[in-house]
Amino acid sequence: MEMHDGLSDRVRERLRGIGALSEAERKSAAEEAQLDELLRRFYANDIQGDSILEALKTYERDKKWALLRAARDKLKQSFKWEELRLEFTETKGGSMTVAKGKPQEATEVPTGGGAVLELTDATFDAAVSEHALLVVDCWAVWCGPCRMVAPVIEELAKDYAGRATFGKLDVDRNPAIARRFQIQSIPMILIFKNGRLVNQKLGALPRAMLEPAIAKHVETKEPVPPAGD
């Protein structure tokens, strides 16, 4: 993939907003913008990991170490980092290489004996429609901070039983929902009230910080029974 042959319309528009630049600054800004566009397409699943690796290998061959470092740092902030399984190696001289790494063994995060719903691309919309208050924990098996949130979600699910429903969505296995809500970092908590997204919380938040965002939407009156009951 030739990342330096021409500029996309999106990149040209971004450069027009920067102002007057020297030729070297313009070239650097253009390359950075092209990298951002490449990553945006990857996050949106428009391109796959092999295309990312191909582009990064081009940076490596052209000795564009700054772009390689920028790509590494930005990718590490995404939930798709583990999916790529890339290995960056930096030398004392400042050069860098990138290669495909070995897959890592993943383990499931327990869900507390069914107290928390396991949501998928196929069941997500129905769950949002059926539950007046639905709290969704967006996670992945490789995500360390997600393991910190899991017991908080399960504890809240037990304490708010009958008043709120809690679910978990594995973003790696359910990319359609992840794309729809532009989830690029996890853990991400989505809160739906009467079918509408009313709040979202990013990061491994303790109960004291997460619960108020949920409690404010809990109905104090008797819940209306589902249709057909």
- What is the C-alpha R_g of the chain? 22
Annotated catalytic residues are 143, 146
Residue whose pair of structure tokens reads 């990061």 in the numeric block: 203
**Which residues, in sequence order, are bridge partners of residue 45?**
none
Q: Is 123 left (phi over 0), alpha (psi -120 to 50) or beta?
A: alpha
Q: HSE-up of 54 (CA within 13 Å, CB side)?
A: 10
What is the DSSP secondary-structure string of 30-99? HHHHHHHHHHHHHHTTSS-HHHHHHHHHHHHHTT-HHHHHHHHHHHHTSTTHHHH-EEEEE-TTS-EEEE
In 143-189, which residue ranges form alpha helices assigned H by DSSP?
A: 144-159, 175-180
Q: Which residues contact 69 (CB under 8 A, 6 or more apart)?
A: 90, 96
Q: How many angstroms separate the CA atoms of 229 and 59, rounded? A: 61
Do the Cβ atoms of 78 and 45 come closer than 8 Å? Answer: no
